[in-house]
Every structure is written in C-alpha cells, then in structure tokens.
Amino acid sequence: MGSKHLRVMILGTGPAGLTAAIYAARANLAPLVIEGNEPGGQLTLTSEVENFPGFENGIMGPELMNNMRNQAERFGAEFATGWVTSVNLSQRPFQVTVNDEDEYEADALIVSTGASARLLGIKGETELIGRGVSTCATCDGFFYRNKRIMVIGGGDSAMEEATFLTKFASEVTIVHRRNELRASKFMQERARENPKIKWLLNVTPVAVHERERKVGALEVVDNASGETRMVDTEGIFVSIGHSPNTGFLNGQLKLDGAGYIVTEGVTTTTSVEGVFACGDVMDPCYRQAITAAGSGCKAALDVEKFLEGSAAHSNWSLASTT
C-alpha cells in the first residue's frame, strides 16, 4: 500500500499540537494530527488548571484538552492514533512511519511531541512502578487513601503534586536533594502551609525497597553527613521534571545539550527546512500550557508561510504580521 500524502502533519496532541491543528485547519491545510500514547499530553494528567487565561474559575486539564481537540476537528483537522516510530527528513515530502507500518508523506511537519516524566534511575524504581512508584499524582493518588507517601523533587510539579496528594494520603513527605527548593514562592508557601506535608531535604535517594511486593522504604544518603538512612513509605511519586520526546527523530534535527529541539530566533523553524517545532519538545524554559499553545499557533503560521512559497518563513518580519 502506498503512502498517504498530506500537506501538513502534526505530531503530538498537547496544547501545542492541538493549537497548531486549529490554526492549520482554519488555513485550509487539512492537517493530520498523530495522537500518541499520551493523548492530550501532560495536561490530561493534571487536575485543575487555574492559570490558563479565559477560565476564571479554572478548568480540569482533560476537559481543556478535549475542548481543544473538538475545536480542531470542527475546522477539519483529522486525527490518527499511533506512535511515530520513524521519520525521514532527508527529502521532501518528508516520510513518517506510524506504528512501524502506516506510511505517510507530508510537505511540512510540525513536531509537538512534548516531554515525558523522568525517573531517578535508582535501584528498585522501575521494578516497582505500579506497585507504589508513580509519576502521576492525578492518575494514582486515589490509591493512596490514608497512606504515608513521598513526593521526590523540589520544583513546582513536586509542590503541586504533594498538595494534591494530601487530599488522599495521611502524610506526604517532600524529598529533595537540596535545602533550597526550585519551586516558585507561591507554590512553596502553599505546600509549607499544609499541615499534612513534611519535608526531607538535602538527601539523595539511592534505592527503593520492597515490602510484601510493594514499596516499603526509600533509601537515602544524607548529603550533609554522608550517612545512609531507610525511610519507611507506602508510595513514591517521582516528580523531577520531564525529558523531551525526540527519540524518533534519530538525530535528524538539531537538539540542544538537554535534548530539546533547537529553533531559530522567535520562529519555530528547525534545522531542517519545512520542519517546525513547538511546545515542550523545544522549550526548556517556560513549559506552560499557554506558552505551548502560543508556540503551536506560531508553528502553524510558519507552516502556512512556508507552504505559500518556498522558504518565505525565513523572511518573516514584523511587517508581515500585520
């Protein structure tokens, strides 16, 4: 069977991909959006989103993503479910293989594959995923009713997850490798004011230990004294950030030292002409739903310009935005 030809393919369905889909569909580019293993992206793993403009009283993450998807569909975007297994960016049209079997070709590509939760890489951690180790508080918090659990990390996500988990758990200990937290003041304060949250700071986790086939304890090294300690716990939520999903690119786009796709100036242009990147896969800095959505809009506008006339996007100037 031959490849299906498209003007634009969008890889990923987080806020970036879906916003790109809305704009590309409204530009009559009939985009095909590939929806991977985490449809809707990271926002579907959160509960209430309080800082997305336009929702005065907040909105649930999955509902927001569902609305964006319906909006894209309403303008003619099409969706296919699958995992992008490889791409060939050496010639145009680009080739995209989904699930190792479905072949597509596209005149332009928008990469919005986001980022996935990082793990600590310590002994016992992956073995105990689903048996007490989790990377998603909103997915698994419910199972920890009245239990004593931990959240590892010192960023906004760790504060948010710990606060959320106090709805279920009897006690949540935030475990962090330094004395200072990376999280914003507001999120730190909210956690500090919560009587169910305890703190275990300046320790390095070294192993997760099993008890009766479930998580039983976290082994940590105290960074000040160098001593090793076992801390009993019934659940461990790892919240140490995310890694951009770029493996399928197989080195064909320029990445920075941390693996994020490098884009040019204020545009979403990548190192390959006709390939654009938006959202968390190219943003090591802001990583917010609204910034991802904004860059998705930019990617669709860049694609539109690119398809209108060869490399017109590189002449993108302030004058052309009016």
The answer to whether residue 154 forms part of the interface with ligand NAP (CB under 6 A) is yes
Select 37 or 51, whichever has its Cβ closest to ligand NAP: 51
The answer to whether residue 153 forms part of the interface with ligand NAP (CB under 6 A) is yes
x/- mask, ligand NAP, residues 59-98, rule CB under 6 A, reads: ----------------------------------------
Cα atoms in the Cβ-side hemisphere of radius 13 Å centred on 320: 10
The size of the chain, in residues, is: 322
Stretch that binds ligand NAP, among 20-28, 124-132, 147-155, 208-216 (CB under 6 A): 147-155
The nearest distance, CB 121 to ligand NAP, in angstroms, is 7
The beta-carbon contacts of 185-192 under 8 Å, at least 24 apart in sequence, are 187/156, 187/159, 187/160, 187/163, 188/159, 190/159, 190/163, 191/159, 191/162, 191/163
Q: Which of 100, 102, 107, 136 is catalytic?
A: 136
Is 302 annotated as catalytic?
A: no
The answer to whether residue 155 forms part of the interface with ligand NAP (CB under 6 A) is yes
The answer to whether residue 240 forms part of the interface with ligand NAP (CB under 6 A) is yes
The sign of the dihedral angle between the CA atoms of 67, 72, 73, 75 is: positive
The residue type of 253 is: L
**Largest pairwise CA distance in the chain:** 66
CB 172 within 8 A of CB 196: yes
Is 278 annotated as catalytic?
A: no
Select 96 or 120, whichever has its Cβ closest to ligand NAP: 120
The answer to whether residue 22 forms part of the interface with ligand NAP (CB under 6 A) is no
x/- mask, ligand NAP, residues 102-141, rule CB under 6 A, reads: ------------------x---------------------
The token pair at 177 is 């490798």
The nearest distance, CB 26 to ligand NAP, in angstroms, is 29
CB 94 within 8 A of CB 87: yes
Helix, strand, coil: what percent of the chain each, to 5? Answer: 30, 30, 40
Pick from 105, 196, 287, 291 the residue near ligand NAP by CB under 6 A: 287
The answer to whether residue 190 forms part of the interface with ligand NAP (CB under 6 A) is no
Cβ burial 72-100 (10 Å sphere, 16+ → b, else e): bbebebebeeeebeebebeeebbbbbbee
Q: What does DSSP say about strands 203-211 and 214-222: parallel, antiparallel, or unpaired? A: antiparallel
CB 96 within 8 A of CB 87: yes
Pick from 64, 158, 191, 218 the residue near ligand NAP by CB under 6 A: 158
The nearest distance, CB 240 to ligand NAP, in angstroms, is 4
The answer to whether residue 157 forms part of the interface with ligand NAP (CB under 6 A) is yes
Catalytically annotated residues = 136, 139-140
Residues that bind ligand NAP (CB under 6 A): 51, 120, 153-158, 160, 177-178, 182, 240-241, 287
